[in-house]
Amino acid sequence: MTPPELIASVSSGILSELVCVAHYKRALTRPDMSVGLRLEILEWLTRCARDLLLATVEAVEPASDRLEEAFIKARRINPADLECFFSVIERPDVFADLCKLHPSLLMALEVHKAR
């Protein structure tokens, strides 16, 4: 299956979750993060692992600098509207570009489809 076919074969909610998983895994590497926030992120990742599949979540690496930059830019388009952020990163062409910046997103999709 080609990357565009793979991306088109999953629901858009999965695409945004994978990007968020990468973002939050990166956040966990910050030494200045409070214990409370770290726990919230770990709980969210645990819910994702239950909803998607542990192997899918494990396949996503912490966001690279370039993915993090794209994440922040997409979030700034309309900060008051989270749905706007999701609609941007879930567009197949945008997600394909994010996969080029961060190949583990595509690997995670492959793991997800193989289940």
What's the whole-model pTM score? Answer: 0.92
Q: What mean pLDDT do residues 60-78 have?
A: 95
Please tell me the distance from the alpha carbon of residue 115 to that of residue 112, in angstroms, as a whole number: 6
Question: What are the φ/ψ torsions at residue 99 (nearest 5 degrees)?
Answer: -65, -35
The pLDDT assigned to 96 comes to 95
**Residue 79: which pLDDT band, with cuts at 50, 70 and 90?**
confident
Tokens coding 92: 């197949």
- Residue range 30-49, pLDDT digits in tens: 999 999 999 999 999 999 88
Domains of the chain by residue range: 3-114
Distances (CA, A) of 35 to 20, 61, 63: 20, 21, 21
pLDDT at 114 over 90: no
pLDDT tens digit sequence for 98-113: 999 999 999 999 999 8
